[in-house]
Amino acid sequence: MRRLPPLNALQIFETVARHRSFTRAADHLCLTQGAVSRQIIALEDYYKFPLFKRHAKGLTLTAEGELLLPAVKESFARIEEISLRLTRQRTDLALKVPTCVMLWMLPKIMRFQAEYPDLHVQISTTWQHDVDFQLEPFDAAIIYASSPGVDVQSVPLFEERLTPVCSPDLLKDKPLAHIADLTRHTLLHPTRDHRDWKMWLAKVGESAAGEEAAGVRAVDAEHGPSFDTLDMATNAALQGFGVAISDLALIEQDVAARRLVRPFDTVLKTGWRYYFVYPDSVAHQQKLNLFRDWIAEHWEE
């Protein structure tokens, strides 16, 4: 049977290492300086080497202490993360949602919450479109990908369909009757590589001929400001700063309210989708299956 070092002493070691002082560590831990010192001595007795160098002006870690500290930090962080998951296992559902789908997702979450008030949905928004359940403290997530990935349960939500959008006021002075008219407008890009505009223009160009084809070639997709997320580019379009390329599902409400208009009919299907996912390892949890079944039934509403 392996004999582990005293865990309480390891926690005190991490605190002392952070503060570089027995006195400050004792104040932080609400212990006496003597109690802290005894724990460090016990840990040093266990390892048979010193962990700190004592100086008149404070403490520094020995080479062995420097080696031990990262492992202690990582271990306690992991324990804290798992403990958090376990304590919320029954009544809380921590959900990671990209900011670009939050406008679409929020009404659905609120309707679910109204139907199941005892299950508390904790929403964390992010510009990221993926999730690592091994490293991140989430029960489930909405992701954007070509496939849901491995070792997860998933519900496909909607396929990405891209089309240009802009404010109606933008077209009063500069109409968009033809593709070539885009040359008179600022293109707003939801990605730094401008791939969305490039792909959409390429699709238009496939069926274009003559003057229209020349108009497509005249549009320079390299120009225009780039944003970190689709919703940021769409928001810039709402404010009249240019023409953004956005997803049909995510602009549906703004188009219906005439806050945004679609100047062209061409829609690009990229083959990517938004998915609701959660790990296979927790597929038995009732709260996840409950939310999965509900979102699968109501996602189109």
Domain harbouring 227, CATH code? 3.40.190.10
- Domain count of the fold of the chain: 3
User: Does residue 1 lie within any of the structural domains?
Assistant: no
45 with 19, same domain?
yes
pLDDT tens, 163-184? 999 999 999 989 999 899 999 9
pLDDT at 168: 95
CA distance 290 to 68: 43
Last residue of a domain, one of 54, 87, 120: 87
- State the burial class of residue 108 (Cβ atoms within 10 Å of its Cβ: 0-12, 13-18, 19+): middle
115 with 213, same domain?
no
282 with 153, same domain?
yes
pTM above 0.85?
Answer: no
Question: Domain span at residue 62?
Answer: 7-87
CA distance 110 to 291: 12
Mean pLDDT of 180-195: 94
C-alpha distances (whole Å) from 219 to each of 192, 202, 212, 238, 265 are 17, 11, 11, 22, 17
